[in-house]
Amino acid sequence: MDRRIRVLTVLFLACFTVLFLQLNNLQVREASALKHSPYEPSTTVSSWNLPRGDIVASNGAILAYSTRNPAGVGYVRHYANGPLYADVTGYYDWVQQAVQFGIEDEYNSYLVQHESSAHNLSDLLTQSKGTDTVEVTISPHLQSVAQAALAPYSDGAVVAIDPTTGAILAMYSKPSYDPNKLSGANPVAINKYYASLTPSSGSSPLVNGATSTLTAPGSTFKIITTSAILDHDPSLATEYVKPTGALTLPQSNLKLHNFAGEICGGTLAENLWVSCDTAFGHYGLSLGGSRLAREANAFGMNKRPPIDLPPAEVSASRFPSAGSFAQNQPGLAYSAIGQENVAETVLQDALIVSAVANGGTIMTPHLMAHIFDDQGRVIATYKPHPWLHATSIATADQVRQLMLGVAIRGTAAGLFPASLNVAAKTGTAEVGSNNCSSNWLVATGPAGAGQVPKVAVAAVVPYQANLTCDGTGAAIAGPVVAKVLDAAVGYAG
């Protein structure tokens, strides 16, 4: 009897061992092959026939969700207030059965139906399928304020960022598009609407105007030139620049003129306040191409900001190489004022002012805040971390102090309530064949002594039909930034 019991025990142990080994073989060694097997159900069902997870805003408001197709086949993707969030969400193309742009693409592996994460033994045994929810950092209130601020214009973009964490609080550009019209269940209507967006055009509404479109930043670039002075040649900060209306440029018979023919000069503070082009052209020539290019690159120029969007949607801003200035000194002077071949995205300009707000450090910009599984459990949380150390704390604080003067007595005077302690810089770049203005403004606040800025905002409004050719950043982009910044800091005046 004992012998038979021992035999049965050994037999059961052997069977259990084989079962255990096979279970591990299937779940680990053969998992990838089985997942891609033609007999695996998930590979034989069209992606549009499956649900997708939600995309929600920072306050929990649902931005994107799926419902069953009323016709009874597959699922239809919906976008609440689609044009408002199109740059953020992107869209799911029902015809192509593919995600396009934005969070839909970047976090597709979480949004598609997949095997749920195992948190305990029961989860391992049941092997259920589900979708995850992606929560973004966008504030619906700030996003709506940004949209309303740009309402008078057909073209423009604005970005608001928390300089201490890199969280994108608002990101909106025009022209926009309605992702609902690309995600419905009518292929004819979808294709017609897609064609109307001129997708092959660089000015298509499908292009994210905040992260992809490059424009000469004009005098907002003087933030970097000022930082370069303090980092590489502080003697220029105490130099008195003789007032003039035109700067004679070396290696040429050209002259750099001030905006509207004004005469300006003086100390670095005075020249930044009034945005004196001749003085900053002089500063650029005095610094030299190597030091100015080094500072520009330290602030992220010529690098793609590592925001969590598909790479094709994010452009690297441009600043000429140091070597290119050897035989192009006029270009160096113009580059120091954000002209010539300098080009930025609105995202990059927001990151530059965020460095000034955050002690010289640019935090990595991001849209994802949390990811939740289908049981509401947090499975991923973004952890803020630096992207670049653009300059020192001392330099950032000095530049911020100078920018406070721009908002109090300079080119941005009157845009912000004095009680907000806003540090700002205007920009008016001459672009295009007609040299009409591309209008910029960047700002951060509250930026007084001992205060920690809550937000950094950048906006651009390019020249367009309803604007005069000689518009200014303060007059046109200024109110856009002011409204967003006021809303971000809770100003109720």
Mean pLDDT, the chain, as a whole number?
89
Count the residues in the chain: 493
| pLDDT of the residue at 186 | 84
First to last CA, the chain: 93
Residue 36 has pLDDT above 50, yes or no: no
- Taking residues 46-60, what's their average pLDDT? 85
For 257, phi then psi, to 5°, come to -105, 150
pLDDT-derived band at 314, boundaries 50, 70, 90: very high
Determine how many CB atoms are found less than 10 A away from the CB of residue 307: 24
pLDDT at 33: 45
Mean pLDDT, rounded, for 334-345 = 96
pLDDT score recorded for residue 29: 47
pLDDT higher for 375 or 456? Answer: 456
Predicted confidence band of residue 28 (pLDDT cuts 50, 70, 90): very low
Rounded Cα distance between 50 and 65, Å, is: 12
Mean pLDDT of 367-381: 95
Average pLDDT over residues 398-411: 97
Mean pLDDT, to the nearest integer, of 361-377?
Answer: 96
Q: What pLDDT band is residue 261 in, cutting at 50, 70 and 90? A: confident
Q: How many CB atoms lie within 10 A of CB 109?
A: 8
Mean pLDDT within 184-200: 90
Show the CA angle centred on residue 441, arms to residues 439 and 445, nearest 5°: 170
Is the pLDDT at 125 greater than 90? The verdict is: no
Given a cut of 60, is residue 469 above it in pLDDT? yes
Q: For residue 26, what pLDDT band results from cuts at 50, 70 and 90?
A: very low
Structure tokens given for 125: 């045994």
Instruction: Report, in angstroms and rounded to the nearest whole number, the Rg of the chain calculated over CA atoms.
Output: 27
Banded model confidence at residue 94, pLDDT cuts 50, 70, 90: confident
pLDDT per residue over 340-360, tens digit each? 999 999 999 999 999 999 999
Q: Is 10 exposed, middle or buried (0-12, 13-18, 19+ CB in 10 A)?
A: exposed
Give SS3 for 316: coil
Decide which of 24 and 328 is more confident.
328
Closest residue by Cα to residue 95 from 26, 198, 185, 216: 185
Q: How many CB atoms lie within 10 A of CB 478?
A: 25
Q: What percent of the chain has pLDDT over 90?
A: 73
Question: What is the chain's percent helix, strand, coil content, to nearest 5?
Answer: 40, 20, 40
The token duo for 207 is: 């292009």
The sign of the torsion formed by the CA atoms of 192, 194, 200, 202 equals: positive
The helix (H) or strand (E) run that includes residue 404 is helix 393-409
pLDDT of residue 493: 42
CB 427 within 8 A of CB 218: yes
Position 48 scores a pLDDT of 61
Query: Does 38 have pLDDT greater than 50?
Result: no
Largest CA distance in the chain: 112
What's the rounded Cα separation, in Å, for the pair 440 and 412?
Answer: 11
Tokens 């209130």 belong to: 141
pLDDT at 45: 46
Tokens linked to 25: 């073989």
Report the alpha-carbon distance of residue 297 to residue 121 in Å, rounded.
51
DSSP per residue over 249-300, as a string?
A: PTTSS-EEE-GGG--EEESHHHHHHTT-HHHHHHHHHHH-HHHHHHHHHHTT
Can you say whether the dihedral through the CA atoms of 153, 156, 162, 163 is positive or negative? negative
Q: Is the CB of residue 206 less than 8 Å from the CB of residue 199? A: yes
Enumerate the domain spans of the chain: 218-365+384-489
Please state, in angstroms and rounded to a whole number, the distance separating the CA atoms of residues 145 and 319.
32
Q: Give 254: exposed, middle or buried? Use CB within 10 Å, 0-12, 13-18, 19+.
A: middle
Q: Which two tokens stand for residue 291?
A: 């030091």
How far is the C-alpha of 482 from the C-alpha of 453, rounded, in Å?
15
Torsion of CA 27, 33, 36, 39, to 10 degrees: -80
Produce one character per residue of 385-421: b if its CB has 16 or more CB atoms within 10 Å, e if not. eebbebbeeebbbbbbebbbbbbbebbbeebbeeebb
Asked if pLDDT for residue 116 goes beyond 80, the answer is no
- The fold for domain 218-365+384-489 equals Beta-lactamase (3.40.710)
Q: List, edge to edge, every strand of the sheet that includes 133-136.
A: 75-79, 62-68, 55-56, 133-136, 368-372, 378-381
Residue 372 confidence (pLDDT): 95
What digits encode the pLDDT tens for the residues 408-444? 999 999 999 989 999 999 999 887 657 777 899 999 9
Concatenated DSSP letters for 116-180?
A: PPP-SHHHHHH--EE--EEEE---HHHHHHHHHHTTT-SSEEEEEE-TTT-BEEEEEEES---GG
For residues 95-100, give the mean pLDDT.
Answer: 78
Between 144 and 131, the higher pLDDT residue: 144
**Of the given ranges (21-25, 185-189, 252-256, 300-304), which has the lowest mean pLDDT?**
21-25
Residue type, 440: W
pLDDT of residue 74: 79
Mean pLDDT of the 376-393 span: 97
**Is 90 exceeded by the pLDDT of residue 18?**
no
Q: What is the pLDDT of residue 410?
A: 96
> Mean pLDDT throughout 257-277?
95
Q: What is the pLDDT of residue 440?
A: 96
Calpha distance 184→189 (Å, rounded): 8
What is the pLDDT at residue 470? 82
pLDDT, residue 44, reads 38
pLDDT of 391:
98
Q: Quick check: 1 pLDDT over 90?
A: no
Contact 302, 433 (CB under 8 A): no
**What are the structure tokens assigned to 278, written together?**
């001749």
Distance, CA of 184 to CA of 75 (rounded, Å): 9
DSSP 219: G
For residue 363, pLDDT over 50 is answered with: yes
pTM of the model: 0.88
